[in-house]
Structure 1
Amino acid sequence: MSSPDTRELEAFLALAEERHFGRAGERLYVSQSRISQLLRSLESKIGARLVERTSRRVRLTPLGEQLLAGLRPAFDAIVETIDEVRDVARGVGGLLRIGFQGAANDQVMNAIALFQNRYPECATEIVEIPFSDPFGPVHRREVDTAVVLMPVRESDLVLGQVFSKQPQSLAVAARHPFAKRDVLDAEDLAACSLIGVHGAAPAYWRHAQAPVVTPQGRPIPAGPAVSTLQEGLALVQADRGAMVLCHPTADYYGRRAVVFVPLTGLQDSFLALVWHRHHETARTRAFSQALAAVADAAE
C-alpha cells in the first residue's frame, strides 16, 4: 500500500479545520471536487473513513480526530523546518508584506527602516488593512504580519510585540455639548451614541473599540457602524455619533469640525504585531525583533 502524499495530507488538514469542502478548496486554491478526490485517496491508503459527510456539515470520525491530533503538529514542524532551511539558504530575503490599520506610526516606520538596514536584500511592502477586518488579511495570507489595535484573542495568531501605549480620547462634532469639556469620564459615554465597527472583525474587538456599556455597567447607545476611520469621522463631523480613538490617531485624522476630548476611565490603547502561527518565517521573526528594538528604545 502506497503512503499518503503531501497534497492528500494538506487537503485533510484544510478540511478538518474548515469543516467545509468548498472553503477547504478555496484555502488550497483547488476545486471542491479535487478536495473530495484527495480525501478519498487518503482514506483508501489508510483503509478507513476519516470524515463523515452529511448534507449540512462535515465531521471527523474518531480515526480522523486521531489523525488530526498527530498530523497537525508534525506537518507544521516539517513546513517550518523547510521554511527555515530555505530562509537560511537565501538569507532574510524576498518580500515582507506588513499590514497596518489607519496610519503607520513613527515606531512602525522606524522599525521598517531598521529592518531594511539590517536586511537590505529583503524588500518590504506596506499594506493598509481594513479597520473593519483587522485579522482577515493575515488569515488570508494577504500580508505576512500586521500591526493591529488590541485586543487580540485569535487562537491561530501569534501575539508579538505590544507597543504604543496611548490614552484615549472621544471624537465629537464641534457643536456637540461634549466639545466644550476639558476632559470626559467613561461614564459620560452613556449620554452619547458611539459609532461602531461592522464587517468581519470579531465582536470582542468591535466592542473594545466601541464599548456597549460603561465600566459601571450603564448602557452606551449604539450609533451607526462603519468600515473605515474616515467614514466614522465623517459621521462624527455630521454629529451622527462619537468615536473612541487614541490620541495619535486623533492628531493624524484631525479636522476642523471635529473635537477630540481626553477620555479617562477606559483602558489605554495599544498596538500589537501579529502573524499566523502556521506561516511564521525568518522574515516575520526578524521584523518582530526590529520592532521590539525600536519599542524598547522609545520607553
Structure 2
Amino acid sequence: MSGLEMRELECFLVLAEELHFGRTGERLYVSQSRVSQLLAALEHRIGARLVERTSRRVRLTPLGERFRTELRPAYDELAGAVERARESARGVSGRIRVGFQGTADARLMAAITAFQEQHPGCVAEIAEVPFADPFGAVRHGEVDAAIVLLPVAEPDLVLGPVFSRQQQTVAVSVRHPFAARTSLAAADLADTPLISAAPPAPAYWRAAHAPSAVPAPAVRTLQEGLTLVAADRGAMLLCRPTAEYHGRQDVVFVPVAGVPDSVLGMVWHRDGETARVRALARAVAGAGDAAVTAA
C-alpha cells in the first residue's frame, strides 16, 4: 500500500468502464500515454496484470475483474467522504446546472425556485436536453443533473427521484384514421409506424418510447417528430401533459390504454454526486408529481 495514489485507482476504474485508453484519457483529461503510465504503476504495485490490451480490444484480466468489483464501493465511499467534507466546509453554494427534456414549465420552475429558496448561495441554471440524447449532457459534464424520461439503465448514472407518472397518448395527423377515435388500446398500435428518437439515444430507450416493429422515421427533437406526425408520416407516443402543452391544429392526441405510463426521473453521473445534487434531489422529491411536466 506504500505510495498508492488515488489517481491510479481512478484511472483503473474509468478504464474498466470504457475499455478504451483514448476515451479514458478524455474523461480524465490526460493523454493516452499517461493512462498507460498510471495503469502500469498500479499493476507494478499489485504485482500482476489487471488489463489485457491488444491491437483490437481491451479487457480486464480475471484478477482485474475481481479487483474492480472489490475496489469500486471502497473508492466511491472514500471519494464521497472527501467530497462531503469539502461541501460541509463551504455549504451548498456555487451553481448547479439542471437539464430537462421537453418543456421547463411553471412546475419545473417552481421546484427549482424551492431549491434556491432553501439554498440562496447556490444558483440553478437550466438547459434543454436533446430528445435524442437524454443522457449525453450528464455524461459529458454539460449539466450536473437532468430530468429525463425513463427507462434509465446506464451503469455510470444514478437514478434519483422518480415521479410524474402520466398516461400516454398517441399523436396522429388529423387525416389519420385514429384521429376520430376517443381512445385506443395497445393492440391498435401494433401495425402503426411510431416515430422514435434517433441515436445516440440507447436502443432500449428508443424501443420503450416507440414499441412498434413497423419502420418509421427517427428524429432528433420533439418538434421534428410532431412535424412528421402532422405530415402523416407516422404516429408518436407522448404523455398527456406534453400533448396538452404542444397542442396544434393539425395534430390530434388520442389516449392509449395498455401501454406503460410515461415516467420522469432525475439522473446524475455516479462520479458527480455533490451536496448540490443531493439537495436538488431532495427538492425534486419533495415537490412530487407537481414538480415537473413530462418531456
TM beyond 0.5 = yes
CA–CA separation in structure 2 for the residues paired with 1:40 and 1:197 = 41
Residues 42-75 of structure 1: CA deviation (Å, up to 9, x unaligned)? 2233333222211111222333334323322222
1:277 aligns to 2:270 (yes or no) = yes
Paired residue for 2:79? Answer: 79
Paired residue for 1:140? Answer: 140
Q: How does 1:1-299 map to 2 (within 5 A)?
A: 3-212=3-212, 220-295=213-288
1:158 Cα offset (Å): 2.3
| Pair 1:61–1:165, CA change in 2 (3 A) | closer
Output the aligned Cα RMSD. 1.9
Q: Report SS of the residue matched to 1:222.
A: coil
Q: Report SS of the residue matched to 2:272.
A: coil
Asked if 2 retains the 8 angstrom alpha-carbon contact of 1:107 and 1:295, the reply is no
| Pair 1:15–1:49, CA change in 2 (3 A) | same
TM (norm. structure 2) is 0.92
| Pair 1:11–1:188, CA change in 2 (3 A) | same
CA–CA separation in structure 1 for the residues paired with 2:284 and 2:69 = 34
What one-letter code is carried by the residue in structure 2 that aligns with 1:92? V
1:93 Cα offset (Å): 0.7
What one-letter code is carried by the residue in structure 2 that aligns with 1:223? A
1:297 Cα offset (Å): 7.2
CA–CA separation in structure 2 for the residues paired with 1:77 and 1:142 = 25
Asked if 1 retains the 8 angstrom alpha-carbon contact of 2:161 and 2:284, the reply is yes
Q: Which runs of 4+ in 1 moved over 6 A?
A: none
CA–CA separation in structure 2 for the residues paired with 1:107 and 1:195 = 27
Q: Report SS of the residue matched to 2:190.
A: helix
CA–CA separation in structure 2 for the residues paired with 1:228 and 1:53 = 39
CA–CA separation in structure 1 for the residues paired with 2:261 and 2:289 = 18
Asked if 2 retains the 8 angstrom alpha-carbon contact of 1:107 and 1:291, the reply is no
| Pair 1:69–1:167, CA change in 2 (3 A) | closer
Asked if 2 retains the 8 angstrom alpha-carbon contact of 1:196 and 1:222, the reply is no
CA–CA separation in structure 1 for the residues paired with 2:6 and 2:41 = 12
TM (norm. structure 1) is 0.91
Q: Report SS of the residue matched to 2:159.
A: strand
Q: Report SS of the residue matched to 1:175.
A: coil
Identity %: 61
Residues 244-288 of structure 1: CA deviation (Å, up to 9, x unaligned)? 101111122222211112222212211111222332111111111
CA–CA separation in structure 2 for the residues paired with 1:296 and 1:195 = 27
1:105 Cα offset (Å): 4.0
CA–CA separation in structure 2 for the residues paired with 1:195 and 1:289 = 34
Asked if 2 retains the 8 angstrom alpha-carbon contact of 1:173 and 1:236, the reply is yes
Residues 198-225 of structure 1: CA deviation (Å, up to 9, x unaligned)? 112222211111112xxxxxxx522111
CA–CA separation in structure 2 for the residues paired with 1:68 and 1:168 = 41
1:128 Cα offset (Å): 0.8
Which moves more between the two structures, 136-145 or 225-234? 136-145
What one-letter code is carried by the residue in structure 1 that aligns with 2:54? T
1:296 Cα offset (Å): 6.7
CA–CA separation in structure 2 for the residues paired with 1:125 and 1:246 = 25
Q: Which runs of 5+ in 1 are unaligned?
A: 213-219
| Pair 1:241–1:296, CA change in 2 (3 A) | closer
CA–CA separation in structure 2 for the residues paired with 1:170 and 1:50 = 50
CA–CA separation in structure 2 for the residues paired with 1:146 and 1:270 = 14
